[in-house]
Amino acid sequence: MDIVRLDEIIEFSLGKNTTRIKEQSKDIYTPEDFERDLACGDNDCNTYGCIINLIKSKAAPISSMTESKVITQNFLKCILDETKILPWFFCYQFNEGKELEQQIAMFHQGTTLSVKKLTVKTIGDLKIKLLPIEKQKVIGDAYRKSILQHRLYLKQAEDIHNYTMEIIRKIEED
């Protein structure tokens, strides 16, 4: 198991300043796109690298639905060396991994800004423990499935709530 800096295995590309994007088109990557990518919302779990939401300090795989969208400065596109690190494993480590969480917390320590935005340099300096690709695949697949399952449970709970409210309204009308 090697411990490497992220900038040794990932190429980073910072999004554009919104004032410099010539045409305000529908092809701009939004926070909703980020959430959909993380939830595998389009059921296309093929990945085209990863994207980091610098405000939320969260990572998501890029789907085919969003791969061609223009990203803004609140996002960081990551092109991974997939011979060394897999996208879903990276997302798990970045979003849930205790080691990266501690490193990010140390960066935020002493920050007085109300918005604690990560920088490209900070992310590049983070160190990650690389597991064998087979283990990364198992961990990444389990993480992806847990996100999908969580989303389905939330949807089911919302549906039950809505159904219950309909029944209550019908009882009130009678």
Q: With beta carbons less than 8 A apart as the criterion, state whether 90 and 131 touch.
A: no
Residue 22 backbone class (left: φ over 0; alpha: ψ -120 to 50; beta: rest): alpha
pLDDT digits (tens, 9 = 90+) for 49-84: 899 999 889 999 998 888 889 899 999 999 999 999
As a dihedral over the C-alpha atoms of residue 28, residue 31, residue 33, residue 35, rounded to 10 degrees, the angle is 170
Element (H, E) at 170: helix 133-173
- The CATH number covering residue 69 comes to 3.90.220.20
Structural domain range at position 93: 2-173
What total of structural domains would you count in the chain?
Answer: 1
Q: Provide the pLDDT confidence category of residue 114 given band limits of 50, 70 and 90.
A: low
pLDDT digits (tens, 9 = 90+) for 30-51: 999 999 898 875 555 667 789 9
Q: How far is CA 52 from CA 13, 38, 62, 158, 161, in A?
A: 10, 10, 10, 28, 33
Average pLDDT over residues 147-164: 94
Average pLDDT over residues 119-124: 91
Rounded (5°) CA angle 71-60-26 = 30
